[in-house]
Every structure is written in structure tokens, then in C-alpha cells.
Structure 1
Amino acid sequence: MTRSALITVLDDEPEIRSLLKDALEEAGFRCMAFARATEFEAALNRVAPDVCLVDLGLPDRDGLAVVHRLALESGAAIIIISGRAQVQDRVTGLELGADDYIIKPFDPAEVVARVRARLRKGRGGAERQAQIARFNGWTAHFDRYVMIDASGAEVAFSHAEGEVLRLFLEAPKRLISRAQMQESLGGAAGESFDRAMDVRISRLRTKLGEDPKNPALIKTIYGAGYIFLGEVDWT
């Protein structure tokens, strides 16, 4: 039998935790719920969630710091669930590595639908996709979220960065517009999506050792989109 996806909920409100856990389990997911960041982070040493639902208003830790650490260290998709409705809060969350942002109050059915959408775009498609790509002295392992350079040094990348990297590596030497990125990666089009893409691409360039003023691999075509100029071999 295929293992159901594991979803974690980090929220200090008991009613929210119960509501989300019941909805997710009724939808067929496994679910673990936590009230404090310390408990949640300790659990990550034992389990590997597929999707993390994170509230920003936590009693023992800055929720954005938790999101940023998850983006850097975990292969899970990250969905923020917060009462903070300001555009800047959403932009900051996405820039720090979140894949989606849901504002409280919410309909549990919408959360379940968003979780399913992230799984389809992430691990669900990976079952039929190659997991290792070689390009310009680098080897990207999408199953482990690491890139290895010619010397053997490993550089980790986040789930969100991996989505963008895969998009480039699957279409080398072809223009990829912002509209195509939005269609492929999901999320609402607009300033927050554009900012999030800018940050992810900037981080990828840094990890690839690119010159920010004259990148050799990920080229910006102003007003049009991006082109990845490397030679790519998938296995």
C-alpha cells in the first residue's frame, strides 16, 4: 500500500490544530500537530514531513525564522497559515522560502486543496521524473536537495529553490517567462510571486557561484524572463 503523505501543523491555538488535523486525516493524510516550535523541531529529527503548515505567531520562536530554517534544511513544502494579512508579511514569508500563504480565518477544505496542490507539484511529479541532473561541473540531486560541485563539495538547496532549478534544467537554452513560471510553480501572480522568484533565483545564483552582475548560467532577459545556458544531462 502506498504511504500517505505526512503533514505537520505548527500552531499554538488548540482549536486550529484540532480543526486542521481532523480535516487532513479525513482527507487521507497522516498528520502530526505541535503547539511550540521546540517540540516541532525536535520531531524533525525523527520524521520527514512532506508538507509543513506553519503559523507565524508562535509563543517560543519567530515563525518566520522557523520558515527560513525549514526552507534551508528540509525538503518539505512549506505553507504559512497566519492572521497577518498585510502584503509585506506575505512577501516576506515567500522570500524566506515558503511555498504558499493562507490567511486566517480559512476554510479547512481550502487548506486540504492547497496541500494536495503542493504535493502534485512536488513529490507527486517526482515519481515519474529523473532525480539527478548534471550540468557544467555540478550534479543536482533532487531526491536529497543537494548540489555537488566538481570538487565534491555539497551545497544544499530548499524545496522552493529546487522547483525553480528543475524548471530551468528541464528547459535549457529556452526562454522561460514569468507567466510560464507562475503556471508551472503555482501561486498567485503579482508582486509577491515576482519577488519570491527573484529571491529564489538570486539564491540559486549565489549557490552556483555566479557573478551577480554577469551570471553565466541563469541569464535575465529583461522584460521577457530567464534562460538557462548550461548543458544538462538527466539520469
Structure 2
Amino acid sequence: MTETSPYIAIVEDDRDIAEILAVALGRAGYETESFDSGSSFIRSLARREPHLCLIDLSLPDRDGLSIVAELRSRPHIASIIVSGRQELDTKLVGLELGADDYIVKPFEDKEIVARVRSVLRRLNGVSSQETKRRVASFAGWTADFGVFELVSPSGERSSLSGGEASVLRIFLESANRLLTRADLMDRLGIDADTNFDRSIDVRISRLRAKLEEDPRNPRFIKTVYGAGYLMAAQVEWT
């Protein structure tokens, strides 16, 4: 491993599955550490924070969804749920709580590596542009992508998850232009054939909940039915 290898935490109580994940990611050049409980992983954050964590939902001491929710206060840590739960509602809840992706067991090694690379690439895409276009201002709002923070016209602050920040940046960089679902997925590096594309809808819904007075009648992120989405705002970058 090099000093710059991304560090990935594997939160999985099944030792066989944890080993499969560790071997696959190690071969791909990632540094990994496995945790067999949610509490041991949370304690480890005081020592070292991962770039990304893979989280099983059925842990012995707590539901993995509660860990995803807790990580929302650390938006620079990406998270992917890896679970045998296939219900649509569970997937949507996980994404709504801030997970960047959802992988259903059983899985292929190549799928895990590809999805990890995709999420890290999206987050690195946000970080790599910080020095050029870090802060966006629109209609009294401020989005600071350096600290993943959104500030309302009244000064109220809310954090953005990595997935929310990626989608909001795309909208702000393409203000007043129609973006199709395919456009969004392409710019986010999401493969429609292998990824849970409803994640786009979930992230837009979360952004509307933070930005809009009435999310059902949005002022900023508008749905153009049958075509896509449009960010209706004049944006200034600093």
C-alpha cells in the first residue's frame, strides 16, 4: 500500500464476507480494516477516519442504518450499504439517511470494487474543484463545497452528505439548463445497468427538503415532466 491509498472500513460481523471484501479491495489497491460491530467502528473514528465505509445492516449490537445516520455529521466519509435486505423501502431509507450507494448480497468482487471506485471518484471530483469553484451563492443561499455546508438566507446551517454535495454542484454548475436523468448519472459516474438509479431521486428529494419552503412546489430544483430537472437560479462562484 502507498500512503495515499484510500482507507476503507468494513463493518461486517460475518467473518467470511468481511474477508472476501478485504481481499477484493486489497487487490484493487485499497487499505482496509474490518469491524465486527457498529460500536467498535464508531470508536475507531476517534483514532482514524476512513475515506469510505462498507456497512452491513444486520450487526450484532445495532442496526447499520443508525450508523449511516450518525455518519451524516461527517459528510467527508462516504458510505455504501452492503446487505441481504432487498426491500425497496429499506434501500430508500438507507439512501435518504445519507448512504452513497446500496449493494445487495450476494455480490461479485468486481461489482464491489467498481462501486467503491465510483463513489470515491464522485467525492474526489467535488474535492478536486474546491480551489477553483468552492463556494456558490444563489438567491441568498450559500453552498460551501469545501466543508459540505449549506447556509440559508437567514444564516441557518445544514450539512451536505457527499452524495448531496455532488448532485447540488452539478445543478449549480448547470443552472437554468435542463438535465436529464441520464445526464446526472453520467456526470456522477453511475452506471444505470448496475446501480440503484433511484438514488438520484432520493438525493434530489433531500436537497429540496433543505432548500425549498414547499418541497412539493419547488422554487429551485424543478422537475420538467418527461424530460428531467432544471435548477432555476442565478449562481455566482467564489
Structure 1 residue 26: Cα displacement: 3.1
Q: Return closer, same or farther for 1:79/1:123 CA change in 2, 3 Å cut-off.
A: same
Q: Return closer, same or farther for 1:111/1:233 CA change in 2, 3 Å cut-off.
A: same
Moved more, 109-118 or 181-190: 181-190
Letter in 2 for 1:16: I
Structure 1 residue 164: Cα displacement: 1.4
Aligned residue for 2:230, secondary structure, equals strand
Question: What CA distance in whole angstroms lies between the structure 1 residues aligned with 2:191 and 2:36?
Answer: 27
Cα deviation code 1:151-177 (max 9, x no counterpart): 443211111211211111110000111
Question: What CA distance in whole angstroms lies between the structure 2 residues aligned with 1:137 and 1:43?
Answer: 39
Name stretches of at least 5 consecutive residues in structure 1 with no aligned partner.
none
Q: 1:99-138 alignment to 2 at 5 Å?
A: 99-124=100-125, 126-128=127-129, 130-138=133-141
Aligned residue for 2:163, secondary structure, equals helix
Match of 1:70 in 2: 71
Question: What CA distance in whole angstroms lies between the structure 2 residues aligned with 1:148 and 1:11?
Answer: 36
Match of 1:182 in 2: 185
Name stretches of at least 5 consecutive residues in structure 2 with no aligned partner.
none
Question: What CA distance in whole angstroms lies between the structure 1 residues aligned with 2:192 and 2:77?
Answer: 20
Q: 1:164-175 alignment to 2 at 5 Å?
A: 164-175=167-178
Structure 1 residue 142: Cα displacement: 1.6
Question: What CA distance in whole angstroms lies between the structure 1 residues aligned with 2:193 and 2:105?
Answer: 20
- Whether 1:85 and 2:89 are equivalent positions in the alignment is no
Q: 1:187-206 alignment to 2 at 5 Å?
A: 187-188=191-192, 193-194=197-198, 196-206=199-209
Residue number among 206, 217, 221 corresponding to 2:220 in the alignment = 217
Residue number among 147, 151, 168 corresponding to 2:150 in the alignment = 147
Letter in 2 for 1:145: F
Asked if structure 1 preserves the Cα contact closer than 8 Å seen for 2:10 and 2:54, the reply is: yes
Question: What CA distance in whole angstroms lies between the structure 1 residues aligned with 2:62 and 2:135?
Answer: 35
Question: What CA distance in whole angstroms lies between the structure 2 residues aligned with 1:221 and 1:124?
Answer: 27
Asked if structure 1 preserves the Cα contact closer than 8 Å seen for 2:126 and 2:145, the reply is: no
Question: What CA distance in whole angstroms lies between the structure 1 residues aligned with 2:235 and 2:3?
Answer: 32
Aligned residue for 1:84, secondary structure, equals coil
Letter in 1 for 2:148: Y
TM superposition score normalised by structure 1? 0.87
Structure 1 residue 232: Cα displacement: 1.3
Over the aligned positions, Cα root-mean-square deviation in angstroms equals 2.5
Q: 1:19-34 alignment to 2 at 5 Å?
A: 19-34=20-35
Question: What CA distance in whole angstroms lies between the structure 2 residues aligned with 1:6 and 1:146?
Answer: 24
Structure 1 residue 210: Cα displacement: 2.7
Aligned residue for 1:163, secondary structure, equals helix
Structure 1 residue 72: Cα displacement: 5.2
Aligned residue for 1:25, secondary structure, equals helix
Cα deviation code 1:110-131 (max 9, x no counterpart): 3122211211122145314532
Aligned residue for 2:18, secondary structure, equals helix
Match of 1:61 in 2: 62
Structure 1 residue 76: Cα displacement: 2.2
